[in-house]
Amino acid sequence: MRKEQQISTSVLVIGTGGSGLRAAIELAELGTDVLAVGKRPKHDAHTSLAAGGINAALATMDQEDSWQQHAADTIKESYYLADPRTVQVVAQGAQRGIEDLERYGMNFAREEDGRISQRFFGAHKFRRTAFAGDYTGLEIQRTLIRRAEQLKIPVLDTVYVTELLVAEGKIFGAYGFDVNDGTGYLIHADSVILAAGGHNRIWRRSSSRRDENTGDSFRLAVEAGARLRDAELVQFHPSGIIEPESVAGTLISEAARGEGGILTNALGERFMQRYDPERMELSTRDRVALAAYTEISEGRGTEKGGVWLDVSHLPRKTIMSRLPRVYQTMLEEQMLDITQEKIEIAPTAHYSMGGVWVDPLTHATEVPGLFAIGEASSGLHGANRLGGNSLIELLVFGRIVGQEAAKYSRSLTSHRRSQTAIDHARNAVQSLVSSDGEENVRSLQRAIRDLMTVHAGVVRNEAGLRRGLEKLAEIEQRMKNIGIHPDIAGYQDLCHAFDLKSSVLAARATLESALERKETRGCHNRSDYPLIDPELRVNLVWSPQGIVREPLPQVPEEIASLITEVSQIGKLVE
């Protein structure tokens, strides 16, 4: 019998990255009891990898910028699949998000007169991306950790949450275990905030590290009774490094293109001329990723299956001050000096633009007491995320969801619990701990990443997606015979088993939704349906029971009037 700890709190936050910490800070500042838990150390949360910057229409560099233009750019580049209400909340709240970071002590890059400096990012009309070198996410994470420590917010960052606890349709807490010694954690809470990231690690080449973004938020929410929206809309970042294999997919920040980096194929051609001659390397992520994919697949890629990104023509001072992390990464991983040599890159799975279905204004799910934020949620990005929008989203909605969760907690007059639900969660862990089958969890995870890469990558078609579902069904059968072996090093096998369960659910939602979206729009490229279908300006809401098409509201005129039409140039048009 494993040891078990029991904890009670008003609000439980699952995930200790930027969105989870921002929500926890808001709750603490409101005087609400909060506990944050994560499966990896908070200093090493995924937010710390975000490089290029954070968007807000501060107009420090371009006075004509406005929240309305920020919203217009976001909706345009979402290919009209972003919810205009969510977009408006973020664009209007962005300046407050930056001010919050400044209040917490964040060090932004500044102009000589003290103004916050802002750089261009792909597909923005104006310079609105604030930054700290090319390690903006790391600086934000450090800033939020410092503020959380000042507020004495309790953080448990070795707890893996395996199940949300539900009684009579309402959340009453969560169950999990300590990743080092296997101690069970029964956590009673009035409400739960899911901030445990997306699902891009289920592809072979990913900007996420090995044991993060495996779809945990998706599985936890769906098993509690929530649904997923737009699981098929996954952003492939154009520039992931190819080797060494252990870090394949690690990002070269979009800042490299923002500062003047040039893309060429193996023939030395500056190939973006073919796909977006106006914006070239500053085109949208979906456009650049598809361009690179096409060059590689048509035989104009490098021997290792990539294209070249070159910043060596930039002044050394620019590289060292604006791209220090890119410089350091390439030196450490490949002994490559980017001030002298080109970087070999290829598209990499980067960001879940879909996620748990949430209310567009409050980010409450359909399960009372359950909220979702950050990459776990959906609604802002549609079919193509603007670089720099994810970091501002987690600040804006972190604050809002903190307030909403506090309000929900205060509104309860009583709170039902269910011993049946607790026993189910406890037994799910125990049965896995004692499983001694022949299947290796890691090899099954690898099989999922392989099938998603082959059948649901940058370009998809019906035959490939159906084959992917057949392979997934085989993996689901093999999962029934896995073996778990806790050892002196901890309970990593058990973590991987739950990661696998999450990955399988996320993969099924993605493949089924990708089959349903019979069009090419933004990041979703169907070679058998190369055009946008106006009838599919809908969100696809997935549950194990099937897919529902959810219509989107009209874009308000003050935003719509600033949108120039989305071009299909460079897409899969025959």
Site of tokens 């592809």: 203
Site of tokens 């359950």: 370
State the Cα–Cα distance between residues 181 and 159, nearest whole angstrom: 10
Are the C-beta atoms of residues 450 and 468 closer than 8 Å to each other?
no
State the Cα–Cα distance between residues 280 and 272, nearest whole angstrom: 5
State the Cα–Cα distance between residues 241 and 328, nearest whole angstrom: 13
Site of tokens 């005087």: 31
Residues 117, 121, 125, 129: is their CA dihedral positive or negative? negative
Question: Does 257 qualify as catalytic in the annotation?
Answer: yes
Nearest Cα to Cα of residue 26 among 358, 412, 408, 398: 398
Burial 308-331 (b: 16+ CB within 10 A, else e): bbbbeebeeeebeebbebbbebbe
Angle at 141 between CA 16 and CA 490, to 5 degrees: 40
Question: Does 237 qualify as catalytic in the annotation?
Answer: yes
Cβ-based neighbours of 8, under 8 Å, separated by 6 or more: 187, 188, 189
Are the C-beta atoms of residues 482 and 437 closer than 8 Å to each other?
yes
Give residue 437's identity as a one-letter amino acid code: G
Q: Per the residue annotation, which of 219, 257, 285, 521 is the catalytic one?
A: 257
Q: Per the residue annotation, which of 237, 285, 381, 449 is the catalytic one?
A: 237
State the Cα–Cα distance between residues 90 and 508, nearest whole angstrom: 30
State the Cα–Cα distance between residues 248 and 250, nearest whole angstrom: 6
Q: Taking the CB of residue 463, how many other CB atoms lie within 10 A of it?
A: 10
Q: What is the DSSP letter of 52?
A: S
**Residue 396: left (phi > 0), alpha (psi -120 to 50), or beta?**
alpha
Sheet holding 129-130, edge to edge: 54-55, 129-130, 118-119
Nearest Cα to Cα of residue 228 among 447, 434, 508: 508
Residue 316's φ and ψ, nearest 5 degrees, are: -55, -40
Site of tokens 């004495």: 152
Polymer length of the chain: 574
State the Cα–Cα distance between residues 378 and 397, nearest whole angstrom: 11
Q: How many CA atoms lie within 13 A of 401 on its CB side?
A: 37
Nearest Cα to Cα of residue 159 among 365, 4, 371, 33: 4
Just list the catalytic residues: 237, 257
